[in-house]
Amino acid sequence: MVVGVISSLRELGMALRSRALSPVEHVAEVLQRLAADTHNAVVTLDVEGASAQASVLADELARGQWRGPLHGVAVGVKDLFDVAGLPTRAGSDVLRDAPPAGADAPVVARLRKAGAIVVAKLHTHEFAYGPTGDVAATGPARNPHDPTRITGGSSSGSAAAVAAGHLPLALGTDTGASVRTPAALCGVVGLKPAFGRLPTDGVFPLSETCDHVGLLTADVHSASVAWDVLSRPGGIGGGIQPPGVAGVRIGIPVGDYWQAADPEITAAVAAAVERLRAVGAHVVEVRAPMIDELAATYGPIVGAEAYATHAVWLSERPQDYQAVTRDRLGPMAGQPAREYVEALRTMRRLVPAFREAMGEVDVLVLPTTRLRASPIGVPTVEICGVGVPVRPALLGLTLPFNLTGWPALSVPAPLPAGELPIGIQIVGVRAEERGVLRVAAALDRS
């Protein structure tokens, strides 16, 4: 009898379908691991509900019924998503008395229909408004590679739980960095699909212009399996993208904006590009002269939309916010509406120009972040004798692709044991999610 957490959805799905592993055993083991978690990744465990669902799914397998590759698989959900019977607290004391949700968010319902078992709500940076993962009512999430360092955010618990081997799959959200940055810092795979590809209904909002639902897994094949299921409303999947990148046109963004602060990140991305070139990809340099102007629209857009959500609570209950969140939201009260509208108009003008500047490339390859996981609570770190502000360094290379709405993924670079993870970002310009996953798979195998 196979017992224990299997991080690969391929192996886990085979074990469950063959009944070498029962969903009941699998879920019991996952719940035990999550209960003993030392990374502050877990907010709420649904022991009763998950165990009951596991029994139902085990009975289905015994009758020869199989819902697809997620049948019987334990999954975690960032605590921004509504999960029926559990409160959504979004990492904040503002929602400490939130009642249990009456229904699943549609994307959670899609997981359940596919046979996945929701076992836990997972840590989030407060209201998803930050890329570090160390600001929440329950305290900071801790990186499984070094518990003194951040996980990245805001899908902090989702990345930590997958990186620690507790779960094979977790849902997250990504408004500027929040799936890809924690994936990079924790050494897992994080996929942000194209804007609107997964529904955001039932998910606490940060910015309706930039919010995306995404997922985190331990490897690219698992991400491909999960995406194949989630991207189909029926939840049954339709086949994984074939391997190989021969003839794929890869763009390497050049210019000061795209530079990493950590030279080892630069070296890791260069090595990844050479591996792709060696297996048949066509590599060209690309320039985006509008990138600074485009990136500058992010703050006014996200800040204004976030403030609109929180204005009443901020005026009535400011003490219930974490100080960092309150200090970020407060100044937005004085932003003129004109600045928000101008930022939106500038974004809409520049996104087509950005795409045109990319020419005929299928994907971009670049760093996910400008630095690796920094110490918890430290706003600036020194790299090569230069002080680097942490938050902008975790956001700068990912946020452009929330403004464009293009699909993007972070995959870990191969590194010696004991080194902090580095993320390589693959962005779809002409390629859709399956094309991005195809390029990531080539790196995952090399």
Cα 57 from Cα 350, distance rounded (Å): 49
Q: Is 121 a catalytic residue?
A: no
Cα 239 from Cα 217, distance rounded (Å): 18
Q: Where do we find the tokens 């992010």?
A: 298
Q: Is 92 a catalytic residue?
A: no
Cα 229 from Cα 242, distance rounded (Å): 16
Three-state SS at 213:
strand
Q: Which residue in the list 22, 78, 156, 410 is annotated as catalytic?
A: 78
Cα 402 from Cα 28, distance rounded (Å): 37
Three-state SS at 345:
helix
Strand spans (E) along 246-288: 249-253, 282-286
Q: Which residue in the list 154, 155, 207, 374 is annotated as catalytic?
A: 154
Q: Which residue in the list 7, 178, 222, 410 is annotated as catalytic?
A: 178
For residues 42 and 161, is the Cβ–Cβ distance under 8 A? yes
Three-class SS of 215-245: EEECCHHHHHHHHHHHCCCCCCCCCCCCCCC
* Kind plus residue range of the DSSP H or E element containing 50: helix 47-62
Three-state SS at 314:
helix
Residues identified as active-site? 78, 154, 178
